[in-house]
Amino acid sequence: MAPPSQCFDAMHSAANNGAAPAVADAKPQCPTVLDADVFRRQGHGVIDFIAEYYGGMGDYPVHPSVTPGFLRNVLPAEAPSRPEPDAFGSALRDVRDLILPGMTHWQSPRHFAHFPASSSTVGALGEALIAGINVVPFTWAASPAATELEMVVVDWLGKALHLPESLLFAGGGGGTLLGTSCEAILCALVAARDKKLAEIGERRIGDLVVYCSDQTHFAFRKAARIAGIPRDHCRAIHTCREDMFALSPTELQAAMQADVDAGLVPLFLCATVGTTQTTAVDPIGKLCTVAASHGVWVHVDAAYTGSALVCPEFRHVIDGVEAVDSFSMNAHKWLLANNDCCAMWVKRPSELVAALGTEQEYILKDAASKGHDVVDYKDWTMTLTRRFRALKMWLVLRCYGVDGLRDHIRSHVRMAEAFEDMVRADERFEVVTDRQFALVCFRLRSPERFGGEKTANELNRGLLEEVNAVGPGPYMSSANVGGVYMLRCAVGSTLTEEHHVADAWKVVQDRASVILRKMEIIYSVLG
């Protein structure tokens, strides 16, 4: 559907050119919905708008103070039947005045609450190119260049991340670009399910069991339900602080053997490199050894920390990855690719195609591909309609280079290390889990006179509320692992600089001092 202003401009330009007035009962026409001049004018306006947004990011509080209904109550209940004059410009003003003030600004340099949704100018312009060209590369024939660029890009990216050749097209495997890790996990799980059922019989789907740790992202449990795995057949294995909340191969072996003894069938393991709460790293090699003895498919979810693999110093966190069946990471989290861009690699693409492939209709066939082993990406995922994400990832890799991406990752790691050092230097605080990437998990110690460990969690809940209540920021989040409530400071915004990290720590210290003084007063009165 045309943007309203395009219809408005088209109708009025006709009148200005002396065209005959429209007949009263004639249907309004929008012949210039892809008018190059209109697009150029409006496009310049959008680019200027975004540039001003980036430049003025510091003027926005990271997290808005709004209540449900704040926007719905000021916008009309129905869409307009006719465009207003300068509808596009008016809409941009509403974005500025109504929508942006109610947003959590993920690109803010003071956003430390979540793993980043990293942005770059090249990534944003790549998105514009994707939207403007607007192809649908579900088969090779539907857009040959899009398919082949995707094949090139996933091999480029896989090599940059130091993945084994067995996961790349160059080594007999292959990759694709999806929307999110949730999609990647589900695709791998469905492929594993169908492969196993082909061996044991489809009637035994109720006997299949899948495994993860209690730190694995909930997307895995959701994927398991969608794939038809009984809810009580998803084993979330307990982790402990002593092991840095990593999945224990010994515990995994015990769980799988118990299921085998009960007549069940181990199917799938989702190992994580960089869990959401604390960036725990599961020992991939040892877990693969356990899984192999039971014929279990191993998928590695490296949604956040997969980006860090561009740096050779982090390659050790995936030791043993040669034995996995599939691997995924989100380039949109920390590799400047803008939402959305999840890369998934599989060792045996034929198993994905067997589970997710469709019989091509005549209309999808192309004489040029006859006799060639082409990739039809519709057979690698759930959807037929797909986005041309490879163009964006290709631009990011070309314009920043692998060395540039390494510099980007390392700068955030250095800032997180500096924050960690500041926490350790204040004896009132402790770092709960050793920092491995750019996430620092920390908490305020509760003095014994205030109840010690018994009150520590409530004390830190109050601290987080105080920190996030500070007008301009910072904005942080929490985790509760092993019964320990902690604050999370995730450094990753493209705009974050050292002074933002130092300012965030000062806010934490100041708010902690206020809380401790209040508790001193309360306990002195009670005492």
Residues 6+ apart with CB under 8 A from 358: 378, 379, 384
Cα gap 430→427, rounded to integer Å: 7
> Do 383 and 459 have their domain in common?
no
Q: Which residues pair with 237 in a beta bridge?
A: 213
According to the model, what pLDDT value does residue 18 have? 40
Domain assignment of residue 100, yes or no: no
Longest dimension (CA), the chain: 90
Looking at 360, 387, 414, the residue that finishes a domain is 387
pLDDT of residue 31: 53
pLDDT score recorded for residue 387: 94
Whether residue 121 is contained in a domain is answered as no
Domain of 215, CATH number, reads 3.40.640.10
If asked whether residues 365 and 473 sit together in one domain, one would say: no
Q: Are residues 305 and 432 in the same domain?
A: no
The domain boundary residue, chosen from 387, 411, 440 = 387
Q: So what's the pLDDT on residue 471? A: 84
Say yes or no: 461 and 383 in one domain: no
What pLDDT, in 10s, does the model give residues 269-300? 999 999 999 999 999 999 999 999 999 999 99
> 308 with 425, same domain?
no
Q: Cα dist. 227→176, 222, 297, 349 in Å?
A: 20, 9, 15, 19
Q: Residue 149 corresponds to which tokens in the numbers above?
A: 């660029």
240 and 318 fall within a common domain: yes
Check whether residue 277 and residue 423 sit in a common domain. Answer: no
Same domain, 348 and 444: no
Question: Among residues 396, 395, 415, which one has the least CA distance to residue 405?
Answer: 396
- State the Cα–Cα distance between residues 335 and 312, nearest whole angstrom: 15
Residue 61 resides in a domain: no
CB burial class (10 A; 0-12, 13-18, 19+) of residue 242?
Answer: exposed
Q: Which residue has 């975004």 as its token pair?
A: 50
Torsion of CA 76, 79, 81, 86, to 10 degrees: 80
Residue 7 located in a structural domain: no
Question: How many domains, in total, are found in the chain?
Answer: 2
| Edge-to-edge strands, sheet with 342-346 | 174-178, 342-346, 326-330, 297-301, 265-272, 208-213, 234-237
Residue at which a domain ends, from 324, 358, 387: 387
DSSP letter at 384 equals: S
For the stretch 350-407, pLDDT in tens is 999 999 998 766 556 665 556 567 899 999 999 989 999 999 999 999 999 999 999 9
Say yes or no: 163 and 244 in one domain: yes
Residue 53 lies in a domain: no
The CATH number linked to 465 is 3.90.1150.10
DSSP reduced 3-state for 492: coil
Please indicate, yes or no, whether residues 361 and 508 belong to a single structural domain of this protein: no
CA-nearest of 150, 437, 128 to 311 is: 437
Q: Of 147, 164, 481, nearest to 300 (Cα)?
A: 164
pLDDT for 5 equals: 40
Predicted confidence at residue 305, as pLDDT, reads 96
Task: Indicate whether 242 and 349 sit together in one domain.
Answer: yes
92 lies in some domain: no
Residue ranges making up the domain that contains 372: 136-387
Q: Determine, yes or no, domain membership for 2.
A: no
What was the pLDDT predicted at 104? 94
Does residue 309 share a domain with residue 198? yes
In this prediction, residue 373 carries a pLDDT of 77
In a domain, 365, yes or no: yes
What residues of the chain score a pLDDT lower than 70? Answer: 1-31, 360-372, 525-527
Tokens at 85, concatenated? 């004059």
Question: Strand, coil or helix: what is 342?
Answer: strand
